[in-house]
Homo-oligomer: A and B are copies of this chain.
């Protein structure tokens, strides 16, 4: 019963054929392509404020050292010594004055240049030895990595669509309040498909539904371009009213969604959470102090999909970023990180358990849903299924994936 059906013809508006959700070879190629063509959101700068502070980011067989150098810049290097290949940093995060390999004590400066290596042959030139670099980009305090062997995609072009939408959000002046990983036994594309439609919200997410405006969830439940045409029309006037109010406060408004032929497949929007809700909390009340550049609550939430693996949601008082880390054909780590204003005090100004509540419940529900989706997709009777009018955005994702990423 394990025999895979042959690669089957795919039809627009349908989910992918089975092999794209289970094959090791397709998975390996997916990860390679995503690493080469996308900028992956990995963390917020506030994690490494001082020179020498570092953390490790792991993707597949790769471990990357993300470290702040002596000039205060953030650099990224493969965690692989140029001598015999040992891992150099063994702890998940910490602080280093030099990067010394624990095996034979070859040591590198914080820009990756070899500083010393004992007893090398006479013709060995240490100046030729550098740690392999990973491309790095920083936007609004967020660190993005790209694994291209040659020239990476243009970072400015990558972040340009979000500049306006994130104006005045004060994200550079935030700090990590709490982070949590949800290991999910499913292909990364099933995780993405789950995340970019709200067709399942009604049956699967009672808490999330109690927080968000009902009509908005039908129209834009998973952001720009995710809902039903008719419902979008019905929601138009309400949205226009809120946008006038928010603009009046000097806040940005707007919405865009890239087509499937985009290199990055991005979308952005600002939407009100619900009538009378100040933020995305169980009761609509604030969870933390206003982030630095907001003057008052407008109850809006800014959604930024940088690429299908990297999403950011910003409320007036806290932000959350999500990154999906493919681990295997049937395994993905979903990491969520909650940010608050950098001067907010844990315990006094915010309670991490409250802060994470709505999304912790929702992501836990999504883990179960997505794992059961994978189990069914493993069946030889799985067939590509028709997407509903509330799953338009993932129909577009699937098309983008087939055009830009798939082998």
| Contact in complex: B383, A90 (CB < 8 Å) | no
Which of B62, B78, B381 interacts with A62 by CB under 8 Å?
Answer: B381
CB interface residues, A 115-173, toward B, < 8 Å: 117-121, 124, 132, 147
Please indicate the chain B residues that have their CB under 8 angstroms from the CB of A31 in the complex. 1-2
| Contact in complex: A63, B375 (CB < 8 Å) | yes
Contact pattern, A 316-348, Cβ under 8 Å of B = 1, otherwise 0: 000000000000000000000000000000000
Total copies of this chain within the assembly:
3
| Contact in complex: A1, B104 (CB < 8 Å) | no
Please indicate the chain B residues that have their CB under 8 angstroms from the CB of A59 in the complex. 1
Which of B84, B120, B379, B389 interacts with A85 by CB under 8 Å?
Answer: B379
* A28 at the B interface (CB under 8 A): yes
- By size class, the interface of chain A is 35 or more
A319 to chain B, nearest CB (A): 28
Which of B102, B132, B369 interacts with A86 by CB under 8 Å?
Answer: B369
A43 to chain B, nearest CB (A): 18
Interface residues of A: mostly helix, strand, loop or mixed? loop
Complex CA gap A229/B389 in Å reads 71
* A10 at the B interface (CB under 8 A): no
Q: In this complex, what residue of B is CB-closest to A199?
A: B104
* A376 at the B interface (CB under 8 A): yes
Complex CA gap A121/B392 in Å reads 10
| Contact in complex: B377, A104 (CB < 8 Å) | no
CB interface residues, A 50-94, toward B, < 8 Å: 59-63, 78-88, 90
CB interface residues, A 181-232, toward B, < 8 Å: 193, 199-200, 202-204, 228
Complex CA gap A372/B56 in Å reads 14
Query: Shortest 10 CB-CB distances between A and B: which pairs?
Result: A1-B60, A105-B203, A78-B381, A61-B378, A132-B381, A87-B372, A85-B377, A85-B376, A80-B376, A85-B382
Binding site for B on A (CB under 8 A): 1-3, 13, 15, 28-29, 31-32, 35, 59-63, 78-88, 90, 102-105, 117-121, 124, 132, 147, 193, 199-200, 202-204, 228, 369, 372-373, 375-383, 385-386, 388-390
Give 5 pairs: A residue, B residue, CB < 8 Å, sorted on A.
A80-B377, A84-B193, A85-B382, A88-B376, A103-B200
Beyond contacts A1-B60, A2-B31: 14 other A-B pairs, Cβ-Cβ < 8 A, are A1-B32, A1-B147, A3-B28, A3-B29, A61-B378, A61-B380, A63-B375, A79-B376, A83-B385, A85-B385, A86-B373, A86-B376, A103-B204, A104-B388
